[in-house]
Amino acid sequence: MSTPTDHGFDTKLIHAGAAPDPATGARNTPIYQTTAYVFKDADHAARLFNLEEVGYIYSRLTNPTVAVLAERIATLEGGAGAVCCSSGHAAQIMALFPLMGPGTNVVASTRAYGGTLTQFSQTIKRFGWSATFVDFDDLEAVEAAIDDNTRAVFCESIANPGGYITDLDAISAISDKAGVPLIVDNTTATPYLCNPIEHGATLVVHSTTKYLTGNGTVTGGCVVDSGKFDWSASDKFPSLSQPEPAYHGLNFHAALGGMAFTFHSIAIGLRDLGMTMNPQAAHYTLMGVETLSLRMDRHVENATKLATWLENDPRVDSVSYAGLESSAYHHRMARICPKGASGLFTVAVKGGYDACVKLVDGLELFSHVANLGDSRSLIIHPASTTHRQLPEDQLEAAGAGKGVVRISVGIEDIKDLIADMDQALAKATA
C-alpha cells in the first residue's frame, strides 16, 4: 500500500489512497466516468491481463475513483487490500466466492442482519453452499459446528439489530484452530469503533451504504483482506492455492502472496459476478468517510443518551444497547469497541407489536425507513420488514422479536430526538 501507515486514523480518513490528480492537479479525487482505458501498446495490454503489471483495463474490474476508496477502507481496517462492490450483500457473496464450492458450508452467527440470515439460509443454496447457524456466545457450539466442509466462519462485530458485541478474540481462536478464515461484518461498528483484523479476522466486509457513507445516498460494499491467512496450508482453498482454471491456471497465492485474495476477487469475482461499485457511488462514499470519526462520536453520544432515557421510561420494557451498563454485552465494549457501541439499538415497547407499529407511525423527526447509519435518525420494526422472511425462533435469536423496534440514532440535537420519542411514545401507549 502506498499510504503511510504511521498516520493517525483521522488523517487516513481524509488522505489514505488519494493524491492530487496527476493529469490535472485536481485536489479532490475526480469521478473517472469511463468504461475503458487506452492501452499503451499490445505488450502493455498483455501484461495487464496477465496480472504482471497493475493498471486499468475495464471498469467492471477496476476504476481509479473506486480504487481510492478501496485503498482507503483497506488502510482504515489495517488490511493488505480491498475490493469494493455494488452493495453490502454483494460484498458478502464476493467474500465467500473464492473460498466456497459445492458441498461446502459457512458457520454463521444467529445474531445478524435479517437479509444476511436469508441470503445464507436460502439463496446461497442455489450455489451448492450452505450455512450452519449457531449462537456465537456458545463457543463450544461454534467449535462443534465446524466440520471438514467448513470454509468460513461469519459474524458481525456489533450485530444488527440488537447491538450485541461478538467476542472476536474467542471466535478467531476457534477459526484459527480449525484452519478456516473468519469473516467479520464490521458495518455497524465501522473501523473507527472496532478493528476486527486486530482481533484475528481474516476478511472484513462492509455495507458502505451505512455509516461509511453516512448520509443515505448510495449503496455499496467492500471486502478487506488482512493478507495474513495461509491459503496453501491445506487443500481447502484450491481457487487460491492451486492453479485456477478460471484464470489460465494462475496460482494466485504463489504469484501474489498476501494480495492473492484481493486479486482473485477482482480478476475473477468482479469479472464474472459483475457486482461492481460505480465511480459515482465511490465518490459519495469518499466524501462521507472523511467525517467518519466525528460522526461516530456523535452517534455514540446520542445513542447512549437516548437509550438511557428510554431505559428509564415506564412506557418501555427494555433497551438492548451494549453501551448501557445493564447490557449483557457491555463488558465486551472495553476490549472490542472501546470508543462505543455504535448508534444502533432495539427497544421493547410496553404493548408489544401494536405499540411498536404505533410508535413508528407517531414519530415526526425519526424517518421510518429500511436503512441505518444515516446522519438522520431512523426507525423500523424489523419483525414486519427487514426480518420479515424469518421464522419466529430466528427472529428471537437475532434480537428482532415482534415487540421491538430498531433505532439508528442520527447526529441531530439530542433534545429534539428525545422530545419526538416522548410524544410518539405517549400516542403509542395511550
Site residues (CB under 6 A) for ligand PLP?
87-89, 113, 115-116, 156, 160, 185, 187-188, 207, 209, 219, 221, 372
Nearer to ligand PLP (CB atom), residue 150 or residue 209 = 209
Q: Which residue has the cell 476478511?
A: 203
Q: Please say which residue, 65 or 186, places its beta carbon nearer to ligand PLP.
A: 186
Find the shortest distance in angstroms from Cβ 217 to ligand PLP: 12
Nearest of 176, 174, 215, 208 to residue 191 by alpha carbon: 208
* Residue 134 three-state SS: strand
- Cβ contact 357:384 at 8 Å: yes
CB of 202 to ligand PLP, least distance (A): 17
Beta pairing class for 344-349 and 404-408: antiparallel
Strand order in the sheet with 367-368: 316-320, 344-349, 404-408, 378-380, 367-368
DSSP-derived secondary structure letter, 19: -
Q: Smallest gap, in angstroms, from Cβ of residue 344 to ligand PLP?
A: 9
- Cβ at position 191, least distance to ligand PLP in Å: 14
For the bound state, the minimum distance from the C-beta of residue 59 to ligand PLP, rounded and expressed in Å, comes to 20
Alpha-carbon distance of 278 to 91, in angstroms, equals: 14
What is the distance of C-alpha 350 from the center of its chain? 32
Q: Which is nearer to ligand PLP, 88 or 227 (CB)?
A: 88
* Minimum distance, C-beta of residue 323 to ligand PLP, in the bound complex (Å): 17
The 10 Å CB-count burial string (b at 16+, else e) for 16-28 is bbbeeeeeeeeee
One-letter amino acid for residue 40 of the chain: K
C-alpha cell at 320: 438492548
**d(C-alpha 171, C-alpha 164), whole Å:** 14
Q: Of the two residues 116 and 166, which places its CB atom closer to ligand PLP in the complex?
A: 116
Nearer residue to ligand PLP within complex by CB, 221 or 323: 221
Please state the closest distance from residue 324 (CB atom) to ligand PLP, in A.
Answer: 20
What does the block give as the cell for 108? 454463521
Taking the complex as a whole, the smallest distance from the CB of residue 257 to ligand PLP amounts, in Å, to 29
Q: In this complex, which beta carbon is closest to ligand PLP, that of residue 163 or of residue 351?
A: 163
Whole-number minimum distance, CB 37 to ligand PLP, in Å?
A: 27
Contact 158, 115 (CB under 8 A): no
Residue closer to ligand PLP (CB basis): 185 or 311: 185
Collect all residues with Cβ–Cβ distance below 8 Å to 178 and sequence separation of at least 6: 143, 146, 150, 153
* Residue in the shown chain whose Cβ atom is closest to ligand PLP: 88
**In the complex with ligand PLP, which residue's Cβ is closer, 36 or 370?**
370
The amino acid occupying position 201 is A
HEC profile of 191-259: HHHCCHHHHCCCEEEEECCCCCCCCCCCCCEEEEECCCCCCCCCCCCHHHHCCEHHHCCECHHHHHHHH
The residue among 172 and 190 lying less far from ligand PLP, judged by its C-beta, is: 190
Q: 88 or 98: whose CB is closer to ligand PLP?
A: 88
Quote the least distance from Cβ 350 to ligand PLP, whole Å.
Answer: 27
Please give the full DSSP string across 75-101, using - where no structure is assigned. Answer: HHHT-SEEEEESSHHHHHHHHHTTT--
Shortest Å, Cβ 88 to ligand PLP: 2
Cα–Cα distance between 350 and 356 in angstroms, integer? 8
**Cβ distance to ligand PLP smaller for residue 77 or 185:** 185
